[in-house]
Chains A and B, each alone.
Chain A
Amino acid sequence: MFRQRTIIPGFGLTFGFTVFYLCIIVLIPLSAIFIKTAGLGWDGYVAVALSRRALLAYRLSFGAAAIAAAINSVFGLIVAWVLVRYDFPGKRVVSALVDLPFALPTAVAGIALTALYAPNGWLGELLTPLGIKVAFEPLGVVVALTFIGLPFVVRTVEPVLADLGHDVEEAAASLGAGRRQTFTRVILPAILPSLATGFALAFARGVGEYGSVIFIAGNLPYRSEIAPLLIVQQLEQYNYAGATAIAATMLMASFAVLLAINLLQAWDRKRMAA
């Protein structure tokens, strides 16, 4: 540890407290997962964490999170674009509404979405005659994760879009580029890293999401059961080792996504500096 001389006091106190609090609340408890999993041995780990039921649950959690993040990347970009570039009545209300998934408790979102998409709900009534079932099906998981993930994309893309100078667009236009060409050749490449970061953030949140999903998913084993639910079920059967093995698998996946996000942001900074 190295620090320059400064007349501002309090480094020892604040740094010490920060590290201490970080260790007791976050690092030591999280390490319990890996130590406990290591104690299981490879065969014990494989038997629970890589069972067919667990693999299908990961597939649903990761697959639905990816689809939802993709949907949010498309619509989140449109929402961010509209908020940054255009004026329309009620824009402030719309902008505030985008953050609803951050503020609304997940259990509330879960029962609300279930009520909407149940066969007798406002949207379920319209979709059921078309043969589309959403509630209590894997599709319901995608709907819930789409709700949860939207602000991650909008709030990541929005500032980058706002900072994008008009001069490059004007230059492209004066060189004879059509609006569509300007968008695909000039604007899109500039916002792509932030869009990818937004996708990754929404995806990471979706993989671990629990509250909004369990009400709408139906939770049928091998079909509409998400990975976090599997952890809860193992715990309810007092199988702590099993719960921990699945948790360790999910944690490693989240850390991989976190690393990807950091690399994306480093890439973006490097591009901006160049």
Chain B
Amino acid sequence: MKGSVSEPAWVRWALIGVALAFLVLNLALPLAAVFAGAFAKGVAAFRTAVDEKDALAAMRLTLLVAGIAVPLNIVFGLAASWAITKFDFRYKSVLISLIDLPLSVSPVVSGLIYVLLFGLQGWLGPWLRAHDIQIVFAVPGIVLATVFVTFPFVARELIPLMQEQGRTDEEAARSLGASGLQTFWHVTLPNIRWGLLYGVLLCNARAMGEFGAVSVVSGHIRGLTNTLPLHIEILYNEYNYVAAFAVASLLAGLALVTLVAKSVLEWRFRDQLAGTGH
């Protein structure tokens, strides 16, 4: 095959075969195993497991935590990307690196830092105790840990996107007399809405699925401080496999919905998303 710019057909098909075999083994089989496990004892057993008091409490808590953490990180992501892309200042790259920092911290350490600050033996522990405020082993700690692990998701989607779009639209709006808020609302937001939605999807998936960080700060009180992922662990450790996989299949369903929505955004609005992958 001297002087060729593509591979012979058999090489192409062999590579496609290897890639597909690896993806089936590594990704599709685990996904199938979740649903197989959930329905191993039939639909009735699945229903019983999902429609149970503690499982429902875990669902409510997971929705509550994501409902607080995701909007907080949206506000942060918008503020950070506005400051970083619309203005020039020194040490900008340091600030961007610091925003990405939570991605390289182990989830367990992400939980531990809040225990060190707000736990009984922590820096603020005695003061919190004197004022009867509980953060660790309660809902506020779970929210904080979730905010930490999902911290960069919206910002890192918006920063490259707004960088590509530049500042001319905003400058034009301003010189035509629009206020700062009007400029943001009528010019910037329509430009970035699909990228924002993309970041929110990823942020939400991680917020609802976080395990390690939340596990450290939760205290595992059934019906009170158990999120869905923690509830799965408890059921699994009690050898209640059908229930564990039934609850897991709900989160797997959420993951599939996220992937479909993400793919639709990528196909339809590729030009309105940031150029970087992931």
Chain A nearest CB, measured from B247 CB (Å): 9
Question: Are A103 and B108 within 8 A (Cβ)?
Answer: no
Question: Are B29 and A122 within 8 A (Cβ)?
Answer: yes
B190 on the A face (CB < 8 A): no
CB-CB under 8 A from A8, the residues of chain B are 86-87, 167, 170-171, 174, 180, 183
CB-CB under 8 A from A199, the residues of chain B are none
**Chain B facing A: main interface SS:** helix
Number of chain B residues close to chain A: CB under 8 A: 109
Closest residue to B264 on the A side, CB-wise? A96
- Chain A residues 4-46 with CB under 8 Å of chain B are 4, 6-11, 13-15, 17-19, 21-22, 25-30, 32-33, 36
Size category of the binding interface on chain A = 35 or more
A177 on the B face (CB < 8 A): yes
* CA of A258 to CA of B97, assembled, Å: 9
Q: With A7-B175, A26-B98, A111-B245 as given contacts, are A2 and B208 in contact (CB-CB < 8 Å)? A: no
Question: Are B104 and A29 within 8 A (Cβ)?
Answer: no
Which residues of B are at the interface with A, using a C-beta cutoff of 8 A? 1-8, 12, 15-16, 18-20, 22-23, 25-31, 33-34, 37, 75-76, 78-80, 82-84, 86-91, 95, 97-99, 101-102, 104-109, 112-117, 119, 121-123, 144, 147-148, 151, 167, 170-171, 174-175, 180, 183-184, 202, 205-206, 208-212, 215-216, 228-230, 232-233, 236, 241, 244-245, 248, 251-252, 254-256, 258-260, 262-263, 267, 275-278
CB-CB under 8 A from B90, the residues of chain A are 1-2
Question: Are A29 and B267 within 8 A (Cβ)?
Answer: no
Question: Are A108 and B116 within 8 A (Cβ)?
Answer: no
Question: Are A211 and B89 within 8 A (Cβ)?
Answer: no
| A–B pairs, 30, beta carbons within 8 Å | A1-B89, A6-B87, A6-B171, A8-B86, A8-B180, A10-B86, A13-B79, A14-B79, A17-B76, A28-B117, A81-B19, A95-B263, A96-B259, A102-B278, A103-B209, A106-B107, A106-B209, A111-B34, A112-B31, A115-B33, A156-B277, A178-B2, A179-B7, A179-B8, A208-B107, A209-B107, A210-B211, A228-B109, A235-B112, A240-B121
Q: With A78-B22, A95-B263 as given contacts, are A250 and B31 in contact (CB-CB < 8 Å)? A: no
* CA of A254 to CA of B230, assembled, Å: 26
